[in-house]
A and B are shown apart, each in its own frame.
Chain A
Amino acid sequence: MIHQPLDFEKPIYELEKKIEEFRQLSASEGIDLSDEIARLEKKVKKLREETFSNLSAWKIVQLSRHPERPYTYDYIYLISNEFVEIHGDRRFKDDTAIVSGIGLLNDQRVVFIGEQKGRGSKDRVLRNFGMPHPEGYRKAMRAMDIAQKFGIPIVTFIDTPGAYPGIGAEERGQAEAISESILKLAGITVPTIGCIIGEGSSGGALAIGLVDKMFILEYAVYSVISPEGCAAILWKDQSKAPQAADALKMTADDLKRMGIADEILKEPAGGAHNDPKSMAQTIKEALISALAELKSIPADELVKNRYSRYRSMGQFREIGK
Chain B
Amino acid sequence: MPLFGSDSKTKSSLDGLWLKCNNCGEIVYKKEVDKNLKVCPKCNYHFRMSAKEWIDILIDQNTFHELWDNIESIDPLDFKDRSRYRDKLKEAQKQAGVNDAVVTGYGTLNDMFINIGIFDFNFMGGSMGSVVGEKITRLIEKAAQEESNLLIVTSSGGARMQEGIFSLVQMAKTNAALSRLKKNKTLYLALLTDPTTGGVAASFASVADIIIAEPKALIGFAGPRVISDTIGQKLPEGFQRAEFLLEHGMIDMVIERKVIKKTITQIIRLLGNTEKKLTAS
Contact = CB atoms under 8 A, between A and B. Distances in A.
A and B co-occur in one complex: yes
B176 A314 contact: no
Interface string B201-238: 11111110000000000011111001100110001100
Contact of B202 (A178, A210, A234, A321): A178
Contacts of B168: 202-203, 206, 223-224
Interface string B183-201: 0000000000000011101
B165 A249 contact: yes
B162 to A, nearest CB: 8
A79 B5 CA distance: 43
A207 B203 CA distance: 10
A298 interface: no
Contacts of B175: 179, 182-183, 186, 210
B164 A315 contact: no
Contacts of A183: 175, 178-179, 182, 207
Q: Which label, helix, strand, loop or mixed, suits the secondary structure of the A interface?
A: helix
A292 interface: no
A49 interface: no
Interface stretch (A80-88, A92-100, A145-153, A305-313): A305-313
Nearest to A260: B165
Contacts of A210: 172, 175-176
A176 B81 contact: no
Interface string B92-122: 0000000000000000000000000000000
A213 B51 CA distance: 37
B161 A165 contact: no
Interface residues of B, number: 69
Interface stretch (A62-70, A117-125, A166-174, A265-273): A166-174
B161 A234 contact: yes
Given A166-B231, A170-B220, A315-B166, A203 B198 contact: yes
B206 A313 contact: no
B59 interface: no
Contacts of A313: 166, 169-170, 172-173
B159 interface: yes
Give the interface size bracket for A toward B: 35 or more
B165 A247 contact: no
A243 B82 CA distance: 10
Interface string A222-242: 111100011001110000100
Contacts of B147: none
A225 B1 contact: yes
A102 B227 CA distance: 34
Contacts of B18: none
A254 B168 CA distance: 15
B137 A311 contact: yes
Interface stretch (B19-27, B65-73, B261-269): B65-73
A222 to B, nearest CB: 6
A255 interface: yes
Contacts of B76: 258, 315
Most chain B CB within a 10 A radius of its CB, from A165, A175, A209, A235: A175
B131 interface: yes
A175 B133 contact: no
B250 A249 contact: no
Contacts, number: 201
B176 A311 contact: yes
B176 A203 contact: no
B165 A175 contact: no
A180 B71 contact: no
B84 to A, nearest CB: 11
Nearest to B220: A170
A30 interface: no
B35 interface: no
Interface in B139-171: 159, 161-171
Given A170-B227, A172-B248, A306 B176 contact: yes
A318 B165 contact: no
A107 B10 CA distance: 57
B134 interface: yes
Contacts of B3: 225, 233
Given A182-B172, A235-B81, A321 B201 contact: no
A300 to B, nearest CB: 12
A209 B161 contact: no
B180 interface: yes
B1 A203 contact: yes
Given A187-B179, A206-B168, A223-B164, A175 B134 contact: no
Contacts of A310: 169, 172-173, 176
A148 to B, nearest CB: 13
Interface in A44-63: none
A177 B264 CA distance: 25
Contact of A176 (B1, B80, B173, B250): B250
A171 B248 contact: yes
10 contacts: A163-B202, A173-B248, A174-B222, A179-B171, A183-B207, A223-B164, A224-B161, A234-B162, A258-B166, A307-B176
Interface of B: 1-3, 5, 68, 70-74, 76-77, 79-82, 129-131, 133-134, 137, 159, 161-173, 175-180, 182, 197-199, 201-207, 219-223, 226-227, 230-231, 235-236, 239-240, 248-250
Rank and list the top 5 A-B pairs by shortest CB-CB distance, nearest first.
A165-B222, A314-B130, A315-B76, A175-B201, A174-B221
